[in-house]
Amino acid sequence: MREVTLSDFEALGAARLRMHVLLEKARGGFGACDVLPNVDSFASRANLDDALADVHSHHILKFCMAGDQERSSWFVARETALFRYRFEHETTTNRDRRAFMREIGFDGDYLSDKAGGPDSSSIRRAVAQAVMSATPIALADSATFPSAIYVVPFELAISLVGTRRVYLGGGNAYVPSDLVVQVACKHFAARLEEDMRDAAAFVRQVRDPRLRRVAASVLEAYPTRPREAVLAHAALRPGDVAAVSKAHFPPCMQTLEGRLASEGHLRYDARNTLVSFLKYAGMSLEDALVYWQRSMERKVPAARFASEYAYNIKYDYGAVGSSRKSFTPKSCHQIIHSAATGDDPHGCPFKRLGADALRSSLLGTGAPVDAVDRVVGLASAKEYGRACSAYFALTRDASKVPDKMREPIVFFNASASLARS
C-alpha cells in the first residue's frame, strides 16, 4: 500500500466529497439507499476511478466528517447510496453478491439453489410463499423457488419483515437474493455509523495542526446548511443579548429571550432551544455559562446553577459527555411541530398565537395594517414559514428576504447582514 502524503490526503478527501456533492446535485438529494445516476462517470470526473484511490478517499473523508453529527449523517447516507449502486450494478451473480457482502463483514449464511435435504426444501418453499403473499401478481410454479436465499439475523431485515416478504425462523430471516440488497444496505450503514463513532474518538485525540488544517480545507466543498456557515458577525456577548435580540432575533427566539429576561427561568425544552441558537449566533461556551447564570440568578443560586444547569449547557456545546458532539439548533420544522402547550414559550409564535393576538402584536410595531393582515393571513392558513418571511419583509428590507426561511439562524444571519451593509 502506497504512502499517503498530506497533499494526497487533501486531494483524495476533496475528490470524494466533490463526487458526492455532484451526485447529490444530479439526483436532487437522495436517501440512504436510493438509486444514483451515472456513478461511474461522476467517479471519473472526481478522479476516483482507481480502486486504491477509492478506498483511501473513503477513509480520508470519513476522518474529515467525523465528530459532527449532521456531517456524519450526510456522509453515511451518501456512502450507503453509493454502496447500493455498486451492489446492484457490479454483482451479477450470487457468487459476486456473496463476495461483495463478505468484504463488508456481512454475517449471514447462504442457502444455494442446489442445497438439498428436507429442511432446505421446506425453508425454500416457506420463503417462496412469503414472497408470493407480498406480491400482488400470482407467480408461476417455476418462479416460486428463489434462486438463492440468504440467512441473516432478524434485526437486519426489519423493513422486509414488516412487509411480510421474508420467512422467519430461529431468530433469523430468510431473504431471497433479489431482496438482499436492502439488508446489505442496512448492514453497511450500521457498520459505517459505528466506524464514524470510532473515527470521532480518534479525531479528538489528533493534535497535529497540519491534519486539522488539511481536514478543514477538505470540508470547504461541503454543502453547508445556513446554520453551519461560519458567521461573519462579532461574537455575541452576555451584555449584548437583549439589544441584539430586539434588532435581529426572529420572533420565536425573541419570545424565549424575553421570557428568560422577565422571569429568570425557562423550562428544559425552551432552555435547550435558546442555548443552541445563541451558540450559532456567536456566543462562546464561557459566555454562555455567564449569560445563563446571570439570567437565572433571581431564582437559581450560583451553587444550584453549577450543579443542575451548567452541565447541560456544556453538553450542548460538546464539551462533556461520551460523544462530545456539538448540537445544532432546532429547525423551523422542529419548532413548529414541538410539543409546546399553553403558556410554553418555545413554539412558533405564528402558530401559537391566535389571529387577534398576532395582529395586535404586529400593529404594536407600527407596521402598516395591510402588511400586518398579510402576515396574519398566512399564519391563519398554517403557512407559518411564509408568515415568518413576510414578517421579515415587513420589519426589514423586503428585497432581502432569504429564499428559504427554514431555521431561526437564517433569519438572524440575514438581519445581521443587512445591518452590516
Q: pLDDT by residue for the chain (421 residues), tens digit each?
A: 567 788 888 888 888 888 887 776 665 444 334 444 455 554 555 555 577 888 888 999 999 888 877 788 888 888 888 888 888 777 667 677 777 777 766 655 555 544 444 455 666 566 556 555 544 333 334 344 455 677 777 777 776 766 666 677 777 777 777 777 777 887 888 889 899 999 888 888 888 888 888 888 888 766 654 333 334 345 788 999 999 998 899 999 998 999 999 999 998 889 999 999 999 888 888 899 999 999 999 999 999 999 999 999 998 888 887 666 777 888 888 888 876 655 667 788 888 888 888 888 888 767 788 888 889 999 998 888 888 988 888 888 767 787 667 889 889 988 888 877 6
- pLDDT for the residue numbered 322: 66
260 shares its domain with 137? no
Q: Residue 96 domain-assigned?
A: no
Neighbours of 9 (CB within 10 A): 21
Same domain, 401 and 272: yes
| Domain membership flag for residue 301 | yes
Distance CA 259, CA 363 (A): 21
pLDDT computed for residue 33 by the predictor: 41
Same domain? 407 vs 264: yes
Answer yes or no: do 132 and 249 share one domain.
no
pLDDT of residue 108: 54
The number of folded domains in the chain is 3
Q: What is the pLDDT of residue 36?
A: 45
Question: Residues with Cβ < 8 Å from 408, sequence gap 6 or more?
Answer: 249, 250, 252, 253, 277, 329, 330, 332, 335
Q: Are residues 356 and 258 part of one domain?
A: yes
Predicted confidence at residue 290, as pLDDT, reads 94
Do 46 and 140 belong together in one domain? Answer: no
Task: Please report whether residue 52 resides in a domain.
Answer: yes
pLDDT at 343: 65
pLDDT at 139: 39
Residues 30 and 176 reside in one and the same domain? no
Domain membership flag for residue 99: no
Assigned domain for 232 exists: no
Question: Which CATH number do you get for residue 124?
Answer: 1.20.930.80
* pLDDT for position 259: 92
The confidence score (pLDDT) of residue 224 equals 52
Please indicate, yes or no, whether residues 157 and 197 belong to a single structural domain of this protein. no
Residue 221 maps to a domain: yes
- Give the whole-angstrom CA distance, residue 143 versus residue 141: 5
The verdict on 190 and 284 lying in the same domain is no
Contact 110, 148 (CB under 8 A): yes
Among the candidates 227, 260, 294, a domain finishes at 227
pLDDT at 299: 93
In-domain check, residue 100: no
The pLDDT value given to residue 271: 93
- Indicate whether 193 and 85 sit together in one domain: yes
Residues 33 and 122 in one domain: no
Question: Of 151, 183, 215, which one is at a domain's C-terminal end?
Answer: 183
Residues 216 and 305 in one domain: no
pLDDT of residue 233: 46
> Residue 97 falls within a domain, yes or no?
no
Range of the domain at 263: 238-420
